[in-house]
Amino acid sequence: MVAALKTSFRKKFPKPQYIYDEHGKKIGKLAKRTKRLNRSTGGTVVLFIFMGLLAVFMGFPLFLTVSNALKPLDELFLFPPQIVVRNPTLSNFSDLFVSMQATWVPFSRYAVNTLIITLGGTLGHLMFASSAAYALAKVELPGRKMMFSMVVLSLMFAAVVTSIPNFIIISSLGLIDTYWAIILPAFSAPLGLYLMKQFMEQIPDSLVESARIDGASEYRIYWSIVMPNVKPAWLTLIILQFQGLWATTGGIFIRSEELKPLSFAMGQIAGGGIARAGESAAVMFLMMIIPVTFFIIAQSQMIETLTTSGMKD
C-alpha cells in the first residue's frame, strides 16, 4: 500500500537530478516539468482588471479636480457633492485670471520665478548628481565607500531639525532672498545621487574599461557611454526633482514678494476662503496639470528597446 503510494508519488514528482560543477557544488536542478509556468491569457486579463480597478480608484481625485474646476459656483456648493459636472463653465478660470491681474506683483513674475527655480534646480541637480554618481560607481577612487555612506546618512535626518543651522548657513552665504537659497541645496539632494549610482552600477565594467583602453576621457565615457545607458534613471530623476521644486513656496528663504514662486501665489488665492471657492478649484487644476503633462512627456521618452548593453559576451 505504502509502496504503491510511493511509486505513484514519485511518478507525479520525479526525484530531481542535480547538476554539479567541477568542485562538486550543486549549481542547478534537472527535473521534468509537469506543467507550463507561463502566465495564461486568463491571468493577464485578471491582472489588467485589477490594475484597471486601482487606476479608476486612484484616478478619482484627478477626475474630481477637473470636474470641480469646471463647475459653476452653485454646483460647487451642492450638498451632497456631485461627482460629475452638470453645466460645465470656464468662469472659474476667468475669475482666476481677474484675481491674477489684481495682484500687487504682476502674475507673470511669479511664473518666471518658478521657471527659474524649477529649471535651474532640476538641471543643476541632474548634472551634479549624475557626475558624482558616475565617479562613485565607475571610477576607482580611494574613499568612495565613505563618501557614499555620507550620502545615505544625510538622507536620514529630518529637515526640520536642521532648519536652524540650514538657515544660518544660507544667510551667512548671503543667499537669503535670492533664487540660490532654493536652487543650491537642491543641487546636492542626496536621493538623486543614490538613485543614479544604483543604476550606473548595472552597466558592465568591461564596457567602461574598453572605452578607457580606446583612449576616451572620463568626461567622454560619462557623457557618451554611461549617461545614454541610464536614460530611464535620469528621466525619473528629472520627474522627481521637477515635482519637488514646482511645489516649493520659498518658505523662510525667499521673503520679497517679487521673488516668490507661483506655488506661493496660487496658495494665497486658494486660501481666500469660501468666496474664492471657484478660483480655488481652478488653481488646483492648474497646479496639477503642469506636473502631470511633464510626467507624461518624460515617460513617453522612455523606450526600453533603445537600451542595449552593447556587449557581445
Partner 1 sequence: MTGERKGLTMRKKQAIAGYLFILPFLIGLVGFFLLNMVQAVIYSFNDVRIVPEVGGLVMDGVGLENFQFVLFQHGTFNRELIESLIDMVWYVPLIIFFSLFMAMILNRHFIGRSFVRMIFFVPVIMATPAILTALELSMSMMMGGRTNVPPDVMAEMAGFSPEAITFILGDFGLPDDLVGFIVDSIFRLNEILRMSGVQILIFLAALQAIPAEMYEVAQIEGATGYETFWKITFPMVSPLILTNVVYTIVDLYSHSPVVETATSFFFEMQQFGISSAMSIVSGLVACMFLLLVGWIVSKYVFYVNG
- By CB under 8 A, which span of 6-14, 23-31, 93-101, 153-161 interacts with partner 1? 153-161
Among 97, 111, 128, 171, contact with partner 1 (rule: CB under 8 A): 128
178-197 binders of partner 1 (CB under 8 A):
184-185, 187-188, 190-191, 193-195
Q: Nearest distance from residue 195's CB to partner 1, in Å? A: 6
84-113 binders of partner 1 (CB under 8 A):
none
58 binds partner 1 (CB under 8 A): yes
Of 239, 113, 242, residue with least CA distance to 181: 113
- By CB under 8 A, which span of 6-14, 80-88, 93-101, 252-260 interacts with partner 1? 80-88
Among 204, 228, 256, 257, contact with partner 1 (rule: CB under 8 A): 204
228 binds partner 1 (CB under 8 A): no
302 binds partner 1 (CB under 8 A): yes
146 binds partner 1 (CB under 8 A): no
28 binds partner 1 (CB under 8 A): no
Give 94 or 309: the residue with its C-beta nearer to partner 1: 309
70 binds partner 1 (CB under 8 A): no
Q: Nearest distance from residue 256's CB to partner 1, in Å? A: 19
Query: Taking a C-beta distance cutoff of 8 angstroms, is the pair 183, 124 a contact?
Result: yes
Q: Nearest distance from residue 93's CB to partner 1, in Å? A: 14
Count of residues that interact with partner 1, criterion CB under 8 A: 120
270 binds partner 1 (CB under 8 A): yes
Give 7 or 122: the residue with its C-beta nearer to partner 1: 122
Q: Nearest distance from residue 172's CB to partner 1, in Å? A: 11
Give CA–CA dist 174/176, Å, rounded: 6
Q: Nearest distance from residue 2's CB to partner 1, in Å? A: 33
Query: Taking a C-beta distance cutoff of 8 angstroms, is the pair 286, 272 a contact?
Result: no
Output the nine-digit C-alpha cell for 160: 526640520
259 binds partner 1 (CB under 8 A): no
Give CA–CA dist 263/301, Å, rounded: 27
30 binds partner 1 (CB under 8 A): no
Among 45, 54, 84, 119, contact with partner 1 (rule: CB under 8 A): 54
Among 31, 45, 83, 84, contact with partner 1 (rule: CB under 8 A): 83
Give 3 or 156: the residue with its C-beta nearer to partner 1: 156
Output the nine-digit C-alpha cell for 218: 572620463
Q: Nearest distance from residue 116's CB to partner 1, in Å? A: 18
211 binds partner 1 (CB under 8 A): no
Neighbour-count burial of 4, counting CB atoms closer than 10 A to its CB (0-12 exposed, 13-18 middle, 19+ buried): exposed
Assign 3-class secondary structure to the chain. Answer: CHHHHHHHHHHHCCCCEEEECCCCCEEEEECCCCCCCCCCHHHHHHHHHHHHHHHHHHHHHHHHHHHHHHCCHHHHCCCCCCCCCCCCCCHHHHHHHHHHHCCCCCHHHHHHHHHHHHHHHHHHHHHHHHHHHHHHHHCCCCCHHHHHHHHHHHHCCCCCCCHHHHHHHHHHCCCCCCCHHHHHHHHCCHHHHHHHHHHHHCCCHHHHHHHHHCCCCHHHHHHHHHHHHCHHHHHHHHHHHHHHHHCCCCCCCCCCHHHCCHHHHHHHHHCCCHHHHHHHHHHHHHHHHHHHHHHHHHHHCCCHHHCCCCCCC
